[in-house]
Amino acid sequence: MSADISLGRRFALLVVDVQRDFCPGGALPAPGGDRIIPAINAYLTEAQELSVPIYASRDWHPAVTTHFKPYGGPWPPHCVQGSAGAEFHPDLELPPGAIVISKGEDPERPGYSAFDGHTADGQSFLDDLRRRRVDRLYITGLTTEYCVKQTALDALRAGLHVIILTDAIAGINASAGDVDRAQSEMAHAGADLTIGLARQAPDVVLLGVEWQPRALIRAQLIEEGFEVVATDTWPMMRRQLRVAPKPRLAIVDLKGLPDPAAVLNDLRESMNPDRVLVLTAMGTIEPGEVEHLGFRHIDRPVAIGDLVNTAAQVIRAA
């Protein structure tokens, strides 16, 4: 079963315009545009593991547009609809579920920002983000001083928390200092420039194999105002706990969990046992053994509300 990770406040990853024409050999290349692709692919993998939305914007210009030099614009023709140059770079590992945002279709507008674009079904980028309750947008791609910058500024205007992943962007730098000035402008406007996804720890990480109780616990914790990451596999929970900062509480539901003893032993290496709440289940590990390991525990049967109240007390006392 695939991991089911969800956040009370969601983030999304956006890959901006990693197309053939913006990479070496293309019509309007950013020097080193292809060298950032391994970093982007690593972020794509991490985003998939965290089950968060992934977007990929693309320039999708008509053949005749005031954006191009032959028609009075500043740029050579590039990323023309249906052309080879408009294709995503072949080394870019976009997952099948990535949401493509097409922009630049208006022949009278440049369409630098992904917020000028739309999904395949015609929904605006911002509307799609809002529909998915996204409030943090991680941005990668090309080019720093044009499409990345304009996208970041528009995201900030829309009230989103913007994080620029600086190891996964590149610019044209037509004039010396353009890239540095663009990064300074984004930072001054309120964007964070950093490396890595999901730096802020959730309040709770919840492990439960069964979907229904996991979903109910998570929903009620969110109602209490806590940010929650929920997963159905120990490897995904362990990934969350191995990075700093750590959550304020880990909840483990033993029912249906493969090799619960090994999970609890590993968990003692990752979290202070006093910050772990174990929901015991018949046929898994005896409550006395859980207590001996130093973990807090609640024995079945228990009402979801009572479990959430106990969890809230532990969190607020931390």
Q: Which residue numbers are catalytic?
A: 17, 103, 147
Measured distance between the N- and C-terminal CA atoms of the chain, rounded to whole angstroms: 33
Which tokens belong to 117?
């674009």
Q: Residue 46: CB partners within 8 Å, gap ≥ 6?
A: 197
The residue among 116, 59, 103 whose CA lies nearest residue 83 is 59
Task: Find the largest Cα–Cα distance for the chain.
Answer: 79
- Distance of alpha carbon 17 from alpha carbon 88, whole angstroms: 8
The residue among 163, 313, 229 whose CA lies nearest residue 3 is 229
- Distance of alpha carbon 217 from alpha carbon 310, whole angstroms: 12
- Distance of alpha carbon 111 from alpha carbon 17, whole angstroms: 11
Neighbours of 14 (CB within 10 A): 26
